[in-house]
Amino acid sequence: VAVLFYKILYLEYNCLIIFDNLLNMNEILKSCKFVSENSKHVKINENKLVEFTKHFSPENIQHWFAMSPFDLTKLDSKELLNFLLIFNSLNFSYWGKPKWEITYQGQKIKGGSYCMITSLGKAIENDFSILDAKYLSQISENDLAKILEGTIEIPLFQERLQI
């Protein structure tokens, strides 16, 4: 779907990026292309996808930073880069029941990635030095447990600690 979606966006919006070059630069899209071209049991309704792109407006997309309960605009560019590196490193495998949820400013936060970005933002607000590589290289199990504290222990906690 991703490959077809990008291809249609390219056709509809005359993007400057040549689609095939985009595929060559992105291994994930390349693997998606293989799946979409060789799938036997799943089909994509290309007409509906084209219809969707006709109503799609890139100007109306809200950047995911704006959806974060933690104000990422407070971070300077180096801090933001470190934050994103940490977030992307820890942002995986939220399956399990019950689901991992956290509380932030009196609100229950649900959704794995949303909880992770909020937990990391809370850590900064609570003076954990998570943007410092030296601190992260030596982070204690106790500190990470406090940072990722939720309704249950986050799935794969020990694996996240090793990262």
Q: Is the pLDDT of residue 145 over 80?
A: yes
Q: Is the pLDDT of residue 82 over 90?
A: no
Choose between 84 and 43: higher pLDDT. 84
Give the pLDDT confidence score for residue 37 in this predicted structure.
Answer: 77
Give the pLDDT confidence score for residue 141 in this predicted structure.
Answer: 98
Query: How high is the mean pLDDT of the chain?
Result: 80
Give the pLDDT confidence score for residue 64 in this predicted structure.
Answer: 65
Which one of 24, 42, 60 terminates a domain? 60
DSSP per position, 18-69:
-HHHHHHH-HHHHHHHHHHHH-SS----HHHHHHHHHH--GGGPPPHHHH-S
Choose between 22 and 146: higher pLDDT. 146
Same domain flag for 22 and 91: no
Q: Is the pLDDT of residue 63 over 60?
A: yes
The predicted model gives 45-63 an average pLDDT of 72
Which one of 60, 86, 109 terminates a domain? 60
Q: What residues make up the domain containing 100?
A: 64-162
Same domain flag for 86 and 11: no
pLDDT digits (tens, 9 = 90+) for 85-115: 899 899 988 888 899 999 999 999 988 999 9
